[in-house]
Amino acid sequence: MLAKQTPLTKQMLSKLLQTSSSKPKQLKKIHALVLTSGLSVKNSLLTHLLENLTLVGDMCYARKVFDEMHKPRVFLWNTLFKGYVKNNLPFESVQLYKKMRDLDTLGIVATELVMMYMKFGELKSAQFLFESMQGKDLVAWNAFIAVCVQTGNSALALECYNKMCADDAVLFDSFTVVSMLSACGQLGSLEIGKEVYDRARREGIDCNIIVENARLDMFLKCGSTEEAMVLFEEMEQRNVVSWSTMIVGYAMNGDSDEALALFNMMQNQGIRPNYVTFLGVLSACSHAGLVDEGKKYFGIMARSSDKSLEPRKEHYACMVDLLGRSGLLEEAYEFIKNMPLEPDAGIWGALLGACAVHGEIKLGQKVADVLVETAPDIGAYQVLLSNIYAAAGKWHCVDKVRSKMRKLGTKKVAAYSSVEFDGQLHYFNRGDKSHPQTKAIYEKLEEVLKKIRSMGYVPQTGSVFHDVETEEKESSLSHHSEKLAIAFGLINGRVEDPIRVMKNLRTCDDCHVFAKFVSRVTSRDIIMRDKNRFHHFRNGVCSCREFW
């Protein structure tokens, strides 16, 4: 009764729409109320309704409401698109996109949508939409390339860059260059990275500090600390990102002394370190086993009056890594238990990694149990646990972990290595026979194995995690992806150039020993990047000094 007599006001409707968020039926009722209220229906009033409908997933009704709107603004299109993304309806969104095609808001919304798909892990949808976009402008191309790199799809970014270069309608700019240098760093593609940069120079693109920082990072991620240092010294300006890039890069390349020296120089020059800088410093300590120094720097952060330098989860993970790697497993465990932040999978993962390095079964098991709860979908942790069991010869436990993984559908990431040659990346899996030079590669491998065996190389069968006979273990080991990659490098590269091998996972003991021997008998430098760090092999010695 009362409701009928009380005139419905905009404020009331707006309130109503804001508070009722989760019941589709209620939302439809309110919509009816809006339509019959006689109030002039403004888009702003319908915005909440649209948002709520997309939240509850009633996209059909959301579309109906949207179609009733008068000249919807960009953000309203966006709301609907976001709804489609969230409810995983790529085809509807493309349909909507086609409708939008005649309007001038086209590019902006579609670009944002493509990025959103990528960030949701919907690679196929993102590609589908991106390719359906007609007359893409520079920003659209750049956005796609950038988001590819950000989501770890650098190979796709490279592909896209080539397509963009082939398209006469767009020219690239410094944004493109930065993303591409970043992509080349990820891929370990030194030649292509240089090519991109040289082309930018030729075409008169303004190579500002961001471009140079990206190039610096590219050199370091490709293991070329020499070129990075030359560039760093030549740079007209250096900001905190330049310094941090150097510190992080040198730490990753195993030169902790240089990393810490850079940190001191930076402070002497009055550049304030930020939290990323400290991540580099801590990781430098970690890779060199400098426990006391690491604690010192962590203490500096914790005591700093600068709020932005308060240790974050990543710093705690670094400390766990530092303690654990140095064999202080119990201390690392206590450190986690006492930390003021909620430990995440990355922190527990660091401890599990350390348990694996030191063959610590009991603690490893405990940590793995925690990780099954917090990150059941990350196969790497289960693999670590199973490796710990395997190293101790507890094969029935290995089987248990494996069958559990099978039951949960947890996937292992397959190991692969790559080597760049002649501006082209060559990929190898374990036991790979797909490369056109397969025959020559395996012959080279045999030849080298024979030579280094006579010099005392013994396969480290301890790093085979299957319960098989020794002979089988050796043959399984000898075809690891990094060995194939090294053999490929021996055949193809110039003798004076190092062989740069990029591996997606941690390398094994045997491949590490193998690379040392090979660097000695062939007099070639081998630079190997694994998931954690670089190993620079020269004349039978590795830069890591056996601590990794």
Partner DNA sequence: CTAGGGTTAG
Q: Return residues touching DNA (CB under 7 A).
A: 44, 73-75, 78, 107-108, 110-112, 115, 136-140, 142-143, 146-147, 149-150, 173-179, 182, 185, 208-211, 213-214, 217, 240-242, 244-245, 248, 252, 274, 276-277, 279-280, 283, 314, 317, 346
User: Burial level of 483, CB count in 10 A (0-12/13-18/19+)?
Assistant: buried
Question: Which residues have C-beta within 8 Å of that of residue 316, sequence separation ≥ 6?
Answer: 335, 336, 339, 341, 343, 347
The CB-of-339 to DNA minimum distance in angstroms stands at 16
CB closer to DNA out of 29 and 99: 99
The CB-of-211 to DNA minimum distance in angstroms stands at 5
User: Burial level of 14, CB count in 10 A (0-12/13-18/19+)?
Assistant: middle
Question: Which residues have C-beta within 8 Å of that of residue 155, sequence separation ≥ 6?
Answer: 187, 425
CB closer to DNA out of 6 and 134: 134
d(CA 69, CA 35): 12
Q: What number of residues does the chain have?
A: 548
The CB-of-277 to DNA minimum distance in angstroms stands at 6
The CB-of-383 to DNA minimum distance in angstroms stands at 17
3-class state of residue 151 by DSSP: coil
| Residue 27 neighbours by CB distance under 10 Å | 24
Does residue 347 contact residue 320 with C-beta atoms inside 8 Å?
yes
Does residue 539 contact residue 533 with C-beta atoms inside 8 Å?
no
The CB-of-349 to DNA minimum distance in angstroms stands at 8
CB closer to DNA out of 76 and 490: 76
The CB-of-114 to DNA minimum distance in angstroms stands at 9
Does residue 27 contact residue 56 with C-beta atoms inside 8 Å?
yes
CB closer to DNA out of 123 and 139: 139
The CB-of-69 to DNA minimum distance in angstroms stands at 13
CB closer to DNA out of 357 and 521: 357
Which whole-number Å values give the CA distances from 182 to 167, 223, 256, 404, in the listed order? Answer: 22, 14, 23, 38
Element (H, E) at 391: helix 379-391
The CB-of-176 to DNA minimum distance in angstroms stands at 6
Look up residue 284 and give its amino acid: A
CB closer to DNA out of 6 and 264: 264
CB closer to DNA out of 109 and 441: 109
Structure tokens at 212: 């140079």
CB closer to DNA out of 44 and 132: 44
CB closer to DNA out of 132 and 403: 132
| Residue 127 neighbours by CB distance under 10 Å | 18
Look up residue 11 and give its amino acid: Q
Does residue 211 contact residue 178 with C-beta atoms inside 8 Å?
yes
Would you state the torsion angle of the CA atoms of residues 458, 461, 462, 467, taken in this order, to the nearest 10 degrees? -160
The CB-of-18 to DNA minimum distance in angstroms stands at 12
Q: What is the DSSP string of 430-445?
A: TT---STTHHHHHHHH
DSSP single-letter state for residue 189: -
Structure tokens at 118: 């990528």
CB closer to DNA out of 48 and 520: 48
Question: Which residue has 């591996």 as its token pair?
Answer: 503
Element (H, E) at 274: none
The CB-of-236 to DNA minimum distance in angstroms stands at 14
The CB-of-209 to DNA minimum distance in angstroms stands at 6
The CB-of-381 to DNA minimum distance in angstroms stands at 13
Task: Give residue 382's region: left, alpha or beta (phi > 0; psi -120 to 50).
Answer: alpha
The partner residues of 541 in beta bridges, in order of sequence, read: 538
Look up residue 55 and give its amino acid: L
CB closer to DNA out of 209 and 521: 209
d(CA 140, CA 145): 9
The CB-of-146 to DNA minimum distance in angstroms stands at 3
Question: Which residue has 């308060």 as its token pair?
Answer: 310
CB closer to DNA out of 20 and 274: 274
Sign, CA torsion 304/310/315/317: positive
The partner residues of 535 in beta bridges, in order of sequence, read: 528
CB closer to DNA out of 242 and 463: 242
The CB-of-525 to DNA minimum distance in angstroms stands at 23
CB closer to DNA out of 179 and 478: 179
